[in-house]
Amino acid sequence: MSLQKINENTFVTGGGYERFTIMKNIAWISNWLKVSIFAAFGVLFSANSLWAQSSGPSLLIGPIVGYNGVTYNTNAFGPPNSLPEFDNIINGIGGAQYAGISVIWPILKMNQNFFVVEALYDSKSASFTSDANYTSFKPGTLSHASLSASLTYLFLNLGYKHNFFRDSVLPTGFGIQLCVSLGKTITSKFTTVVLDTENFSTGSTGPVQNGSSVTNIDGINAFQFDLRFELTYDIPLAQRWILTPSVGYDSHFTKVDSTSRNWWASSAYGAIALRYAIGSF
């Protein structure tokens, strides 16, 4: 119903209070829509002007490499293949590398706040620890065993980076970065190494055969969900190159496997990224 028709019904034919109320509500909604539309156009125009006037790259992209200090937290569990009388295995520690591609998008080209996207080939491989280094199998025979895990993932990191200082040309100085990570398990293997020290030194026979074996990890989870927190420092090298060393902590929200081992993996890491700035300055 048009405003003209409501006006005629109200003041010519005596439509009364209800028609008058409808007319007022429609008129108010119409004015509100006009104001909202003008405000939206104003915000868009201001943002577009700010973007156009801001200097700096459209995005920065390049390789990133890093080293993980890996920590395992587990329940006590026996070694693979039920090797007789070995100590239980619990927890673990080790080191592993990772590498990938890192991209950051400056928000409004201000070089202080950034969207982050990274694709990483990441390793969480490490060696387990046990209650004792050596285990007696029978009187006069000593044997030593070690167990390690080979774990690799393909991670997609999505997050946000904030620099404490703003530069009009390229990112610079200290910053913080927070990413959520979704990982797909690529490799999951146990490696067991057994050394009978008495057999090795005297040539006598013992209950355990020396050597190593590689087996698939049972109950491995296909996906991992992590949270990564980093401290970064951007160093402009030239007009379009940025070197960014960083240190961080990677906390898993998903167990490595779904068995009674109750196996969690986390890492403290250091990394360095070399990014190239794309776009006009």
Query: Could you list the pLDDT tens digit for every one of the 281 residues in the chain?
Result: 444 444 444 333 344 544 444 455 555 555 554 554 554 445 444 444 444 445 567 889 999 999 999 999 999 887 766 566 677 788 999 999 999 999 999 887 677 899 999 999 999 999 988 765 544 444 445 667 788 999 999 999 999 999 998 866 778 889 999 999 999 999 999 988 877 766 655 666 555 556 788 889 999 999 999 999 999 999 998 888 999 999 999 988 999 999 999 999 999 999 999 999 987 76
CA dist 204 and 202 (Å) reads 5
Q: Which amino acid is at 86?
A: F
Q: Is the Cα torsion angle 181, 259, 92, 217 positive or negative in sign? A: negative
82: left (phi over 0), alpha (psi -120 to 50) or beta: left
pLDDT of residue 161: 95
In order of 149, 221, 241, the CA distances from 78 in angstroms are: 14, 20, 51
173 C-beta neighbours (distance < 10 Å), count: 15
HEC readout, the chain: CCHHHHHHHHHCCCCCHHHHHHHHHHHHHHHHHHHHHHHHHHHHHHHHHHHHHCCCCCEEEEEEEEEEEEEEECCCECCHHHCCCCCCEEEEEEEEEEEEEEEEEEHHHCCCEEEEEEEEEEECCEEEEECCCCEEEECCEEEEEEEEEEEEEEEEEEEEEEECCCCCCCCCEEEEEEEEEEEEEEEEEEEEEEEEHHHHHHCCCCCCCCEEEEEECCCECCEEEEEEEEEEEEEECCCCEEEEEEEEEEEECCCCECCCCCCEEEEEEEEEEEEEEECCC
pLDDT of residue 197: 65
Of 175, 194, 248, which Cα lies nearest the Cα of 79?
Answer: 194
Q: In the chain, what is the straight-line distance between the N-terminal and C-terminal CA atoms, in Å?
A: 54
In order of 111, 137, 138, 140, 142, the CA distances from 198 in angstroms are: 64, 11, 11, 8, 6
pTM, 2 dp: 0.72
Of 227, 157, 150, 155, which Cα lies nearest the Cα of 184?
Answer: 155
Tokens of 203: 């040539």
Of 96, 50, 48, which Cα lies nearest the Cα of 72?
Answer: 96
CA dist 61 and 118 (Å) reads 10
